[in-house]
Structure formats: C-alpha cells, structure tokens
Amino acid sequence: MSNLKKSRQTFEIDMCNGPLLPKMLLFTIPLILSGVLQLLFNAADVIVVGQFAGNEALAAVGSTSSLTNLLVNLFIGMSVGVNVLVARYYGGKQDGEVSETVHTAIVISVLGGVLLAVIGIVLAKPLLTLMDTPEDVIKHSVLYMRIYFMGMPVMLLYNFGSAVLRAIGDTRRPLFYLSIAGVINVCLNLWFVISLHMGVAGVALATIISQAVSAVLIVRCLIQSEGCFRLYPEKLKISWDKLLRIARIGLPAGIQGSLFSVSNVLIQSSVNSFGSVAMAGNTAASNIEGFVYTAMNAVHQTAVSFTGQNLGGKRFDRISKILAQCLMLVTIIGLVMGNAVVLFGEPLLGLYSSDTEVITYGQKRLLYICTIYCMCGIMDVLVGSIRGLGYAIMPMIVSLLGACAFRVVWIYTIFSWNRTLETLYISYPVSWTLTALVHLICYIIVKKKLVNKLGGA
C-alpha cells in the first residue's frame, strides 16, 4: 500500500510549500505538450484535408472553429470551475469536499456533452448560413460540424477529468493519454481521407474516435486512483451545493470564453466576405498561431491551479509571487514562439496548402497577430489569477467590454470604413492590450481586498 501511495504521489505537486518556479515548470511543461497534442488533432485534420481534399474542404474545416468555440466554451468554462474548486479543497485538505466535486463534475460533463451534441447537430446549418459561409463551402462545413458535435460527450468528459487531475498537480498522465489519442487521430485521418476518400467527414470522425480514447483513459485513471479524488461509478450523482459552487466560478468563465467567440464569429464572418482562398489562408494561420496560444494558455492554467491551492492552504504570501512568475513565463513564451511563427510563416503555411495565394493570406494574419501575441497571454494569466482567488464575475465583465464589445464596435466602425484584412486583424492586439491593463487594475483591487479580509501578507 505504501508503494502504491508513493507511486501516486509522484504525479502530484505540493503547490503550497517549497520553491515556486521549479514546480510551476514541472506543472506547465506537460500542460504545454498536452495542449500541443490537442491542437495536433485539428492540425492533422487541416493539413490532411488541405493537401488531399482541396481549398473548399480546408475552408470548411476552418469556418466552423469560431462557431464551435462559441457553443463549447460555456461548458469548458464549467471545467475551470471544477479546477478551482478541487484545487481549493485539495489545498485545504478537505477530502470529502473533493470527492463530491469530482463526482458532480463527471455527471455534468456527460449531460452537458449530450446537450451540446443536440444543439450542434440541429443548429449547424442555420448558424453557418448566418455567418455568410460561401455556397462552395457550406455543405462541407455543415457535415464536418454535425459529425464533430456527435463527439461532445467524450470531449467534455476528458476536459472535466483532466481539470480534476490538474487541480491536484497531475499534468503528466493527461499528456500520456493525449499522446495515445493523437497517434490514433493521425492514423485514422490518413486512412479515412486518403484511402477511403471521406473528405471532411473522415477528419471529423477521426477526431471524435481519438477523443473517445482519451476520455476512456482518463476515466480509468480516476477510477483506479487511491486519493480523495478517486471516482466511484456507484457514487455518480450531482451534489447541488457543489454544482452551484462550480457554476459560480465556471459560468462566468464560460460566458467570458463565449464572448470572445462571439467577436471571433463576427471576425470570421468578415473574413468569409473575402472568399474561400482568404478563408483557407486564415484557417491555416489560425491553426499555426493556436500552438503559440496553447503554450501561453498552459501558464494561465498554472496560475489558476497554484493560486487556488495556495488560497485553500491559506498561503497568501505566495499568491503575488505566483502571478509575477506566471507573467514572466508567459511573456517569454509569447515573444519567442510568436515571433518564430512569423519568421518561419511561409514554410509552416506550406504544410497546409501549396497555393501561393493561400500562403500570402496566412502570412498577413500571422504578422498582425503573432508579433505581440504575448499580450494575449498576459491578459489570460491575469484572468487566471483573479479566478483562482474566487472572483469570476469581474473578469467576465471586463472581457465583455474589452474583447466582445470593443471588437464589435471595431468591425462596425473602423473596419467598415476601411475593409481590409489588416484592419480586421489589428483589432486583436489592440483589444488584448486594453483588456490586460484593466485586468491588472482589477487584480490589484481584488488582492488588496483579500489581504484586508483574511489578514494575509
């Protein structure tokens, strides 16, 4: 039993004691690799379909991403609530509360996935039509989106399960499970598209099969665990108290993510007006920049988990240090990776399409967005720290004004006066910078309030 306990503890990280930076790196690096693997699911879809099914199919896969995020982000936000709550209870040694939260999380992930599947299948065509998806693309887009949404239950199950493991400091096992699923995804992509000529249907089907594998593995991990976060199938039920607490943190986070997606849907609609070649270039560039974003987002998740555990463990003296070191990490990652992507943009885009016009459109997006992409990471880290402190409404409101409202106004004013892709893309860095500044002010206010209330340092 002692050997089992020792083995189990090697996956956990004590976030409340000892030096911060080495433990943050131990937590963050597997998260970055996990995020990259998740993106490789989509990258494999995009590359295979772009090379073997044509520009229309490539545009179809890309045109669904912002709409998919709009529908999914509300539930992904709920997984943030799970992460914060489990981290706080785990840091405070409240084993019973951890267990109730875990079982509630698994139930709502499955129910939410079924609901999303129905919504996505039914609303795919009308929503894509509202986005002015071109006639030569929409048939492929609808088919891809409907098949993709059939996999929502397993996708959410994996996300909620991995949120539990992140909360206790385990980011390595989710990485291992995604590695297995990633290999399966790539192999199925090649078989379905090249051998069976299934086009966008093949890449969508490959994605949901691989996601099902990762979901099964993470559930198996939770069932076989020996800690307070162990999953007992016979105990699966909703604890309404825990659901309300998860929703109090997770719903604002989900609404915030959806608000970003609303503005991105409007931007995607504006890109669609430039035709399928511009859409294809935008899709390829978005996919590449996603690798930079997911690396920065890993630091955001680090800020959430470390802040939550230290708050639960009443280690208030470490909270500002966590923010400072996360800001340093995310700035380095954003500047190095973002500018590397701009520098090597042409060969990277060439992986997605050999069409020189598609590559030119893609390079345009990379230049305007990735050069100072670190501002997006800084904004997200500040949000993560505020959420980890238990404040969820404030960052949601700031994001409503700074991301959604600002970009909508931009599209209907500045972009309408000068209808170019450059004008459209520059709205991203401007909105990140303004929103990050406001989040910093909010963090200072929240931290001061918390110190006064709890008497921390």
Q: What is the 3-state secondary structure (H, E, C) of 400-423?
A: HHHHHHHHHHHHHCHHHHCCCHHH
In a domain, 222, yes or no: yes
What is the model's pLDDT at position 63?
Answer: 66
Q: How far is CA 382 from CA 75, 165, 278, 375, 428, in A?
A: 21, 22, 33, 11, 17
What confidence score (pLDDT) does residue 261 get?
66
And the tokens for 150?
A: 């059939």
For 335-369, b where at least 16 C-beta lie within 10 A, e where not — what string? eebbbebbeebeebbeebbebeebbebbbbbbebb
User: Which residue from 413, 392, 386, 257 is spatially nearest to 323, judged by alpha carbons?
Assistant: 386
Q: In the predicted model, is pLDDT for residue 342 greater than 50?
A: yes
| Per-residue model confidence (pLDDT) at position 4 | 39
Distance CA 456, CA 448 (A): 10
pLDDT band at 1 (very low <50, low <70, confident <90, very high): very low
**Which is more confident, 48 or 78?**
78
According to the per-residue pLDDT averaged within each range, which of 105-109, 131-135, 176-180, 353-357 is highest?
A: 105-109
pLDDT of residue 223: 94
Judging by beta carbons within 10 Å of its beta carbon (0-12, 13-18, 19+), is residue 69 exposed, middle or buried? middle
Cα–Cα distance measured from residue 251 to residue 418, given in angstroms and rounded to the nearest whole number: 36
Higher per-residue confidence, 124 vs 44: 124
Tell me how many degrees the CA angle 243-246-251 measures, rounded to the nearest 5. 110
pLDDT of residue 395: 84
| Domain count of the fold of the chain | 1
| Mean per-residue pLDDT, 341-363 | 87
Identify the pLDDT of residue 400: 79
Whole-model pTM above 0.85? no
Say yes or no to pLDDT of 355 above 90: no
Cα dihedral 101, 302, 76, 411 sign: positive
Select, from the ranges 121-130, 270-279, 425-434, the one with the highest average predicted confidence (pLDDT): 425-434
b/e map 421-452, b = 16+ CB within 10 Å: bebbbbbbbebbebbbbbbbebbeebbeebee
pLDDT tier for residue 161 given thresholds of 50, 70 and 90: very high
Q: How far apart are CA 434 and CA 310, in angstroms?
A: 29
The token pair at 50 is 């772009």
**pLDDT confidence of residue 252:** 84
* pLDDT > 70 fraction of the chain, expressed in percent and rounded: 90
- Across the range 61-89, mean pLDDT stands at 79
Q: Tokens representing 308?
A: 């939550």
Task: Return d(Cα 204, Cα 64) in angstroms, integer.
Answer: 11
pLDDT at 115 over 90: yes
CB 20 within 8 A of CB 164: no
Task: Kindly state whether residue 374 falls inside one of the protein's structural domains.
Answer: yes
Q: How far is CA 32 from CA 25, 191, 291, 337, 457, in A?
A: 10, 28, 9, 12, 31
**456 is written with which tokens?**
């921390």
**pLDDT tens by residue, 183-221:** 898 889 889 888 887 878 888 898 899 999 999 999 999
Question: Residue 325 sits in which domain range?
Answer: 20-452
In a domain, 5, yes or no: no
For residue 8, pLDDT beyond 50: no
Sign of the torsion angle spanned by Cα atoms 240, 220, 14, 29:
negative
Residue 4 is assigned to a structural domain of this protein: no
In the predicted model, is pLDDT for residue 172 greater than 50? Answer: yes
Is 212 part of a structural domain of the chain?
yes
The stretch 439-452 carries a mean pLDDT of 84
**In 3-state terms, what secondary structure has residue 123?**
helix
**Of the listed ranges 7-21, 151-165, 195-209, 438-452, the one predicted with least confidence:** 7-21
Q: What is the per-residue pLDDT for 2?
A: 40
In a domain, 47, yes or no: yes
**237 within domain boundaries:** yes
Tell me the mean pLDDT in the region 286-305.
89
Instruction: Return the pLDDT at 374.
Output: 94
**Of residues 261 and 85, more confidently modeled:** 85
309 band by pLDDT with thresholds 50, 70 and 90? confident
Give the per-residue pLDDT at 160.
Answer: 93
- Among the listed ranges 82-86, 98-102, 336-340, 395-399, which one has the minimum average pLDDT value? 395-399
Neighbouring C-alpha atoms within 13 Å toward the C-beta of 278 = 17
Which two three-digit tokens encode residue 103? 């079982």
Is 372 part of a structural domain of the chain? yes
How many CB atoms are closer than 10 A to CB 47?
A: 20
- Rounded CA-CA distance 49/427 in Å is 29
pLDDT value, residue 56:
67
Is the model's pLDDT at 421 over the cut of 90? no
- Can you tell me the distance from the alpha carbon of 219 to that of 157, in angstroms, rounded to the nearest whole number? 8
Would you state the torsion angle of the CA atoms of residues 19, 25, 31, 37, taken in this order, to the nearest 10 degrees? -160
Q: Are 68 and 41 in contact (CB under 8 A)?
A: no
**What's the mean pLDDT in 147-151?**
91
Which is more confident, 7 or 351?
351
Q: Which residue has the higher pLDDT, 392 or 155?
A: 155
